[in-house]
Structure 1
Amino acid sequence: MTDRFLQDKAALVTGSTQGIGLAIAEALGGAGCRVAIHGLGDAATIESAETAVRDAGAAEVRFFNADLRDPGAIGSMMREAAEWGGVDILVNNAGVQKTTSLEDADTETWNAVITVNLSAAFHTMRLAMPAMGERGYGRVINIASVHGLVASREKAPYVASKFGLVGMSRVAALEYAALGDRASGGVTVNCICPGWTETSLIEPQIEARTQQVGGGRTEGIADLLREKQPSLRMSDPMEIGALAVWLCHRHAHNITGTSVPVDGGWTAQ
């Protein structure tokens, strides 16, 4: 990427050691950003992610391993990020999913999904956004889901968390809409809502569908797509990364409180 328009900015991307989060971190690095990655994984996974973001062009790369189930750990991470130079761009990507019926879902499942998918974003936003307002520039990009816009069976905790994330993002967008100006870029809050995307998060569903149709992995994926996604194509994580970077431009100063589906027409039906 040759347009390094973010070379004076710093970003924190949660859940960015793989998948969509890593793709976003790489894309931001390509635009010249200093990037703090975050997530789980062994030393080799973390080193690989750091190298990928650095090779993409990031001015600097840092790693955080805060447990997003722990508000205290989130607070420590955000303080360290502030001391590192502040967070101009916050991407809440970390998420968990468990497919289960409402009847079979238990308290442990509900708490696990809501805590990581929704509560963690609340804590990072409340701690990062006041400084964004003071600077007159800030971007919060919450990776919701098509399931923040429509429901599916056997996903009550996940759908609730993503609908909640969309709603919370709209509130934050309203509260910060008037801060900054066109020249500074303003403070915006938006959600990206992917449909079927090629990440490890959906592998259990692909495996289950493959067993149902009695074919191979390709047949399982095709059956998933036919059910929901009219384009019959999955998205690539790098496509989500490119959209996230675009939302960081100053000329996106009036795009706030939106939820952008990347779902091949899923929510148009």
Structure 2
Amino acid sequence: MSLAGKTAIVTGSNSGIGLGIARELARAGASVVINSFTDRPEDHALAAEIAEEHGVAVRYIKADMSKADECRALVEQAGACDILVNNAGIQHVAPIDEFPVDKWDAIIAINMNSAFHTTAAALPMMRKAGWGRVVNIASAHGLTASPYKSAYVAAKHGVVGMTKVVALETAQEPITANAICPGYVLTPLVEAQIPDTMKKYDMSREDVIRQVMLERQPSKEFATVEQLGGTVVFLCSDAAAQITGTTISVDGGWTAL
């Protein structure tokens, strides 16, 4: 599944799922643009580290995914976009009648609107190149719901719907669009939550993971960032050329319930 000669942009990718995806794309030979809203020396050092490890070109480009113009500028500044992975996302939990309006607006902007703006900027590049892959990182919450996550669930459902539209608009071109729907993924952020959850419930690490964090994940195992990266690489391969407009769940059976 060599992606040599391809340029990939991964939004929200200086940590967690996005970073795992960026690393796997680089491992497959793609040049990669990683992104976040900061512009620190360590962001650029991370790009250099990935480049050295895999022998490909890797750049860090700052862009705030809550701002439409910066979303589009990210793609334009990259100069090429064969593979677009819309991964950037945030979360807030509250009942609908208490949900802060600013949090709603930020989640919709970053989790959903950003994918519209980057895709709109990337499609002309893909058409000019004669090949393209749009991979949107949705969520199990793009297919089902949980209480107190109204903005996140709405945004992720929107991402799934938009993915289908992009697929239909590019159906007769060598471009595909798909959404990956992860369940709970073991990221540094999730790992950091485990000790506090152990104290809260007075449980062992194993019991907290199985009974609390992975209550809705039948496998009782986290997905890994490497597995999600591998799924993205597969969707970019020739084997997936006729997979478009669909969702791939990486959720340990969550949505089978």
Amino acid at match of 1:81: A
The structure-2 alpha-carbon separation of the partners of 1:201 and 1:172, relative to structure 1 and needing over 3 Å to count, comes to farther
**How many corresponding residue pairs?**
257
In the alignment, structure 2 segments of 5+ residues that lack a partner are none
Per the alignment, do residues 47 and 64 of structure 1 end up closer, same or farther by CA in structure 2, a change over 3 Å counting? Answer: closer
* Alignment partner of 1:231 out of 210, 215, 219: 219
C-alpha distance in 1 between matches for 2:95 and 2:233: 36
Q: CA deviation at 1:79?
A: 1.6
- Residue 38 (structure 1) aligned to one of 35, 39, 43: 35
Pair 153,118 (structure 1): closer, same or farther in 2 beyond 3 Å: same
**Structure 1 residue 50 corresponds to structure 2 residue 38:** no
Of residues 130, 145, 148, the one that matches 2:142 is 148
Q: CA deviation at 1:213?
A: 2.1
Amino acid at match of 1:235: A
Matched, 1:260 2:248: yes
Instruction: Give the Å deviation of 1:51.
Output: 3.6
Partner secondary structure for residue 62 of structure 1? strand
Q: Give the superposition deviation at 1:75.
A: 2.4
> What percent identity do the matched residue pairs reach?
40
Q: Return 5+ residue gaps in structure 1 as ranges.
A: 180-185
Question: How do residues 1-269 of structure 1 correspond to structure 2 at under 5 angstroms?
Answer: 5-41=2-38, 43=40, 45-82=42-79, 86-179=80-173, 186-202=174-190, 206=194, 209-269=197-257
Q: Deviations over 1:11-46 (max 9, x none)?
A: 100111011111111111111111111014573541
Give, as a single letter, the amino acid of the residue that structure 2 aligns with 1:219.
D
Q: 1:7 and 1:55 mapped to 2: Cα distance? A: 15
Let me know the Cα RMSD of the aligned residues: 2.0
Distance 2:121 2:23 in 1: 24
> Quick one: structure 1 residues 204 and 153, their matched pair in 2 at CA, closer, same or farther if it must change by over 3 Å?
farther
Aligned partners of 1:56, 1:233: CA distance in 2, in Å? 29
61-70 or 162-171, which moves further after superposition? 61-70
| Cα 1:202/1:233, change in 2 over 3 Å | same
Counterpart of 1:232, as a letter, is: K
Q: Which amino acid aligns with 1:108?
A: D
Q: CA deviation at 1:157?
A: 0.5
Look up the SS of the partner of 1:90 in the other structure: strand
Listed one character per residue, the Cα deviations across residues 75-125 of structure 1 (whole Å, up to 9, x for unaligned) are 22222112xxx1000001110011111121021110010000000110000
SS in 1 for 2:69: helix
Q: Secondary structure at the match of 1:142?
A: strand
1:102 and 1:217 map into 2 onto residues whose CA distance is 32
Question: For 1:230 and 1:39, how far apart are their aligned partners in 2?
Answer: 32
Q: For residues 167 and 146 of structure 1, what CA distance do their matches in structure 2 show?
A: 14
Q: Distance in 2 between matches of 1:207 and 1:103?
A: 31
Q: Alpha-carbon deviation of 1:58?
A: 4.7
Q: Label 1:216 to 1:49 Cα distance change in 2 as closer, same or farther (>3 A).
A: farther
**Contact (CA 8 Å) 1:132, 1:138: kept in 2 or not?**
yes
Asked whether the 8 Å contact 2:48–2:59 carries over to 1, the reply is: no
Distance change in 2, residues 1:96/1:226 (3 Å) = closer
How far off its partner does 1:207 sit?
6.4
C-alpha change, 1:48 and 1:239, in structure 2 (3 Å) is farther
Q: Which amino acid aligns with 2:31?
A: R
TM-score, scaled relative to structure 1: 0.89
Q: State the AA in 2 paired with 1:266.
A: W
Q: Aligned partners of 2:151 and 2:198: how far apart in 1?
A: 24
SS at match of 1:129: helix
Tell me if the contact between 1:133 and 1:176 (Cα under 8 Å) persists in the aligned partners.
no
